[in-house]
Structure 1
């Protein structure tokens, strides 16, 4: 899987990829079911997607405090605490259904946001733990852990949604709890490099100066467009499919292929970036997102939902992996924590709004309004993409392993 890496680099990439698989399986279950459960529990059906939105809101609110935990405690403890939040959220989901409480269900989604926010640092941790020449490949391979999630998540929904008699979907949320527990055990085995001294004690350039770099603007525009358009379409899809007389199993099938399209290309996206350049790969991703809107507007058959969701999944992968690669060139070690936090705060802030608006647009206009709403996002990112070629990289490259660290697996710079 992780060819071209040193042994310790390979270990970390594999463990982070498995962590992505467990996290991704849980979130696939959530994004498949939360809207449906919200529709079942909510009196006001326009709030049906709020339990999906709440995950994104929780992630956005958690980004800055999570980055501080990563900075002061280290990656490994922060990742374990993040998985613990996934366990707590799974318990809250089950109790929300058991007690018929829509707002408890929403609160559980907010708690899950801490897990979601911490999992976004998996890709950055992989980039930091490998050499510069393999950074894009490490990011894409970690995200390839989502392939297992794409295969397992929808199947688990099918097999567990009626497991507890009289309590629809509770069985699936029990699986979410178990996945969080498994992640806690797995991520405790990471051996990541210590923070560089300048990262602990220096602050680097002002954040506004970092964010104003043309390259950073292009990265933010791309990351926001890719994630927000995907969330807008994906959140509404299960509800729209059931409303169009398709089944929950049909919706799970489409979400499964969508998730595969999101993560399967990760096995080669990094190599594509190395060979073709990041702007070409991002451009291809944004074009695929526009293609999704075209197909989604053409009809509401199972096949049309399937093609549209596969296209936006592929587009998300190319654009988001590319955006992440761009972000890692925009900061020094001292600027790492605040830049990553600001990036994810802005991305998930917009994604939260897109997720909520998905339900509102669907309720007001029907399915066809959803892909129309996604169009401006991709078009704006395409306009910003030429900025990626302007400006220079950060003054000092982010080292994969600080000079004082070793690769012995513990004690000498690999404490967390």
Structure 2
């Protein structure tokens, strides 16, 4: 009743999901910080060091759609609880794997972490399941804003637990996943799930027959391409700064500034969408990504240019990713929301995986500037898709 009487306010359940997302992204930050370092110590050879992290991404890409099917059948809350319990197991497996120097165990731990992420990635969609259309952009934005906390908590956990006397390096970082999982279970336990329709055969058939509009395709392409460009340029920027002789401390600060730029705008992105509309917001996101590539192509090439580019990259990702998710939520029906959200996040996971694994290869084969040319082309395609898809119905 409160939501109906005061539609300008988000329900308390949205804030709970934002905290869940903060925990999810905290686990992600810790994982990306320690995965290669732990893998390097236990891998049979240097080429295998990133295999655990690769398996994590592969698990997300493979299991995102099955996770959406599970939640369509059994509900959001059972899915999120299942993911959180998997995270606890991942933390225990990772802790003992590092303690016993078991590389196979480490790979298994990151695979389980990928299972958890497959469920947790749907927090932002769960936040808008029962929201009226005007509040959906703010709901998605608020949940993604949980990354602001993760940008600070994740490094704090990694630095504080990375090397503790009496424990193998990084083992307690993996153990922290169990604590994050337990905290998630507590939050999901108090979260009030919105009511959805039962996934009957009639509704499933309606979902299969629901048209895939140009706006839905544009929404999926926007989120997925923005994630791919962000991952690709962020990782390759680290390699480029290293080749430039930039110190580890300076490059770390640049990446942290990028991560803050990714999530801090989430506090207002929903309001921006509400005021200026989907078209201008999404196009602005692509323009910022285009500006990032142009700076790399025609800028000075120094550390300051890299830092500014990474900040623009983070803000551009934020507008594109959140805007794409909100646009998708606007056009989905109750019948097809689970299936289309599953397809959307599967495509994002595949593109994010490609963006995470290809930087070193592209840096070797075509170099930094040509990589930015490829990203520029991708952003121009996205800009045109959004402009055309939103012309008839959106401002």
Which TM-score band (shorter chain)? 0.7 to 0.9
Aligned twin of 1:67 = 68
Q: Distance in 2 between matches of 1:190 and 1:7?
A: 20
> 1:250-399 residue pairs with structure 2 within 5 A?
250-296=250-296, 303-362=304-363, 371-389=372-390
Q: How far off its partner does 1:374 sit?
A: 3.3
Contact 1:38 1:49 in 2 (8 A): yes
The CA RMSD over aligned residues, in Å, is: 3.1
Flag structure 2 segments of 5+ consecutive residues without an equivalent: none
Residues 294-327 of structure 1 show CA distances to partners (whole Å, capped at 9, x for unaligned) of: 4456577654443332221111110011111111
Contact 1:198 1:333 in 2 (8 A): no
Q: Distance in 1 between matches of 2:95 and 2:301?
A: 32
Aligned twin of 1:220 = 220
Q: Distance in 1 between matches of 2:281 and 2:344?
A: 20
**Worse-matched range after superposition: 168-177 or 309-318:** 168-177
Contact 1:50 1:356 in 2 (8 A): no
Q: How far off its partner does 1:226 sit?
A: 0.8
Structure 1 residues 7 and 136: CA distance shift in structure 2, 3 A: closer
Flag structure 1 segments of 5+ consecutive residues without an equivalent: 394-416
TM-score by length of 2: 0.86
Contact 1:293 1:375 in 2 (8 A): yes
Q: Distance in 1 between matches of 2:320 and 2:364?
A: 29
> 1:57-96 residue pairs with structure 2 within 5 A?
57-96=58-97
Bigger share in helix: 2
Pairs aligned (count): 390
Residues 382-407 of structure 1 show CA distances to partners (whole Å, capped at 9, x for unaligned) of: 232223225779xxxxxxxxxxxxxx
Residues 121-163 of structure 1 show CA distances to partners (whole Å, capped at 9, x for unaligned) of: 1111111132222111111111111111112222332333223
Structure 1 residues 251 and 136: CA distance shift in structure 2, 3 A: same
Contact 1:218 1:385 in 2 (8 A): yes
Q: How far off its partner does 1:27 sit?
A: 0.7
Structure 1 residues 247 and 22: CA distance shift in structure 2, 3 A: farther
Aligned twin of 2:108 = 107
**Secondary structure of 2:204 counterpart:** coil
Q: Distance in 2 between matches of 1:322 and 1:84?
A: 31
Q: How far off its partner does 1:242 sit?
A: 5.4
Q: Distance in 2 between matches of 1:72 and 1:33?
A: 35
1:173 corresponds to 2:174 = yes
Contact 2:8 2:135 in 1 (8 A): no
1:158 corresponds to 2:159 = yes
**Worse-matched range after superposition: 88-97 or 336-345:** 88-97
Q: How far off its partner does 1:72 sit?
A: 2.2
**Secondary structure of 1:329 counterpart:** helix
Contact 2:60 2:117 in 1 (8 A): yes
**Secondary structure of 1:218 counterpart:** helix
Q: How far off its partner does 1:83 sit?
A: 1.6
**Secondary structure of 1:194 counterpart:** coil
